[in-house]
Structure 1
Amino acid sequence: MDRRPSMNINSNRQMITPSFKQGSGSLSSAQCCVRTLPKMRFLFISLLVFAATAHADVARLDNNLAFRSPFFDEPQFAHDTIAISRRNIQPARRDTVDATRFKDEPYPGFFTSDFSNAPTIWSSGVNFTHSIASGDPFDTSVILWTRAMPLPSSSGQLPDQSVPVCVSFKIGTAKDLSGRPSDSGEVFTTYDIDFTVKVEASGLKPDTKYFFQFADCTNPNTVSPVGTTRTLASVNTPAEKVNGGKPLTLGVFSCSQFQAGWFNAYGFAAHNITPDIFVHLGDYIYESVGGGDGIGRAVLGRELATIHDYRQRLEQYRSDPDLQFAHQSAPWITVWDDHEVADNTWKAGTTDSNDTAAGCTFSPSGACFTDRKLAGVRAYHEWMPIRQVDAQDQLRIWRNFQIGKLLDLSMLDTRQYDRDVTDVGYNTAVVGSLADEPRRSLMGPNQEKWLLDTLSESKSRGAIWRVVGQQIVFIELNEGGFLDFDAWDGYRSNRNRILDHLYNNDISNTIILSGDSHANWVSDLAHTNDTMTYDPATGRGAIGVEFAGTGVTSTTAPFDGNTFDAATNFSSIFVKDNIDLQWSEGFFRGFFTLEVSPKAINATYYSMRDVTFRNLDGFAIASFLVKAGDNRLSRPVAGGKVLSGALKSQVVN
Structure 2
Amino acid sequence: MWRPIVPLIFFFAGASAGIPKLDKNLAFRSPFFDEPQVGPSFAHDTAAISRRNTQPTRRDTVDAAQFKDEPYPGFFTSDFSNAISIWSSGVNFTHSGRAFLQLNSEFEGDPFDTTIILWTRAEPLPTNAGQLPDQSVPVCVSFKIGTTRDLGNPVDSGEAFTTYDVDFTVKVEVTGLKPDTMYFFQFADCTNPTVVSPVGTTRTVASVDTPAEHVNGGKPLTLAVFSCSQFQTGWFNAYGFAAHNTTADIFVHLGDYVNIKSLSSLPCIGRAVLGRELATIQDYRQRLGQYRSDPDLQFAHQSAPWITVWWDDHEVANNGWKAGSSDSNDTTAGCTFSPSGACFTDRKFAGVRAYHEWMPIRQVDAGDQFRIWRNFQIGKLLLTPVSVVVSLADEPRRSLMGSNQEKCAFLPILSHSKVYKLIYLGLMDTLDQSKSRGAVWRVVGCVTSSSRDAWDGYRANRNRVLDHLYNNHIDNTVILAGDSHANWVSDLARAIGVEFAGTGTTSTPDFFSQTDFNQAVNTSSIFVKDNVDLQWSEGFFRGFFTLSLTPTSLNATYYSMRNVTFRNSDGFAIASFLVNAGDNHLARPVAGGHVLSGALKSQVVN
Work out the CA distance in 2 between the residues paired with 1:393 and 1:648: 41
Alpha-carbon spacing, 1:67–1:498, altered in 2? closer, same or farther (3 Å): same
Deviation per CA, 1:355-384: give whole Å up to 9, x if none: 359975641100111110000001011111
Name the CA shift for 1:645/1:639 in 2 (closer, same or farther; >3 Å): same
Cα 1:298–1:118 shift into 2, 3 Å: farther
Deviations 1:116-136 (A, max 9, x none): x86110001111111211011
The 5-angstrom pairing of residues 512-551 of structure 1 reads 512-526=479-493, 541-551=494-504
> Which of 168, 173, 192 is the matching residue for 2:142?
168
Deviations 1:34-66 (A, max 9, x none): xxxxxxxxxxxxxxxxxx966665565344211
Matched, 1:125 2:78: no
The match for 1:86 is 51
Matches within 5 A, 1:254-273: 254-273=227-246
What corresponds to 1:651 in structure 2? 604
Structure 1 match to 2:164? 191
Q: Deviations over 1:501-551 (max 9, x none)?
A: 10011100000000000000000000xxxxxxxxxxxxxx41100000000
The answer to whether the 8 A contact 2:431-2:442 is kept is yes
Tell me, in whole angstroms, the C-alpha distance in 1 between the residues paired with 2:440 and 2:188: 41
Whole-angstrom CA distance in 2 between matches of 1:100 and 1:144: 30
* Map 1:232-631 → 2, pairs under 5 A: 232-292=205-265, 294=267, 295-335=269-309, 336-355=311-330, 360=335, 362-390=337-365, 395-414=370-389, 435-449=393-407, 450-477=426-453, 488-526=455-493, 541-631=494-584
Larger Rg: 1
Contact (CA 8 Å) 1:475, 1:489: kept in 2 or not? no
Which residue does 2:410 correspond to in 1?
Answer: none
Report the secondary structure of 1:463's partner residue.
coil
User: 5 Å matches for 1:47-58?
Assistant: 57-58=18-19
Q: Report the Cα distance in structure 2 between the residues aligned to 1:161 and 1:181, rounded to whole angstroms.
A: 33
Corresponding letter in the other structure for 2:406: E
Extract unaligned runs of 5+ from structure 1.
1-51, 102-116, 421-434, 478-486, 527-540
Change (3 A) 1:307 1:251: same
Identical columns (%): 76
**What residue ranges of structure 2 are gaps of 5+ in the alignment?**
1-12, 60-70, 77-81, 96-104, 408-425
Deviation at 1:328, TM superposition (A): 0.3
Corresponding position of 2:37 = 75
Q: Map Cα deviations across residues 578-635 of structure 1 (whole Å, 9 max, x no partner).
A: 0000000000000000000000010000000000000000000000000000000000
* Distance in 2 of aligned mates of 1:339 and 1:97: 49
1:640 CA displacement? 0.2
- AA of the residue aligned to 2:428: L
Moved more, 553-562 or 258-267: 553-562
In the alignment, the residues of structure 1 paired with residue 557 and residue 185 of structure 2 have an alpha-carbon distance, to the nearest angstrom, of 30
CA shift for structure 1 position 412: 2.2
1:246 shift after superposition: 0.2
1:429-470 deviation per Cα after TM superposition (whole angstroms, max 9, x unaligned): xxxxxx322111111222111211111110011000000001
Is this contact kept in 2: 1:125–1:150, CA < 8 A? yes
Residues 1:524 and 1:98: Cα distance change in structure 2 (over 3 Å): farther
Code of the aligned partner of 1:224: S
Q: How far apart, CA to CA, are the structure 1 residues paired with 2:369 and 2:50? A: 24
Q: Distance in 1 between matches of 2:350 and 2:228?
A: 20
- Aligned-residue CA RMSD (Å): 2.2
Q: 1:456 to 1:165 in 2, by over 3 A?
A: same
Q: Secondary structure at the match of 2:480?
A: strand
Q: Which residue is 1:201 aligned to?
A: 174
TM-score by length of 1: 0.80
> Which consecutive aligned stretches of 4+ in structure 1 deviate over 6 angstroms post-superposition?
96-101
